[in-house]
Amino acid sequence: MKVNLEVNCTPEEARAFFGLPDLKPMQDRIMGEIEERLRSSLNAMNPEAIFKTWLPASMQGVEQMQQIQQAFWAQLANIASGKKE
């Protein structure tokens, strides 16, 4: 024997029938707070600040390497021209 039972109701009606609480107002408040925090965080960060946060040490390293390279080539040019420093 096979019995099929079809119930046609909305999720809200099923929740009320089983006595479950409606969490939609709480979810809406939490999602609103999350959205507000996300927007304030995004407005506070500009691309330059993000880049400096991600790569501060490596950027300083690149600048130092450029200075060393310039000093090296200047010294090499002095040696080639016969100047002593």
Phi-psi label, residue 32: left if phi above 0, alpha if psi -120 to 50, beta otherwise: alpha
Q: What is the pLDDT of residue 82?
A: 76
**In the chain, where the domains are located:** 9-44, 55-85
Do the Cβ atoms of 83 and 76 come closer than 8 Å?
no
CA distance to 13, 15, 55, per residue, from 10 (Å) = 5, 9, 52
* Two tokens, residue 54: 């991600």
Q: What is the pLDDT of residue 71?
A: 87
Question: Scanning the structure block, which residue is given the tokens 């100047």?
Answer: 83
Predicted confidence (pLDDT) per residue in 23-81, tens digit? 999 999 999 999 999 888 776 677 777 666 666 566 666 777 788 888 888 888 888 88
Give the pTM: 0.42
Q: What is the pLDDT of residue 85?
A: 54
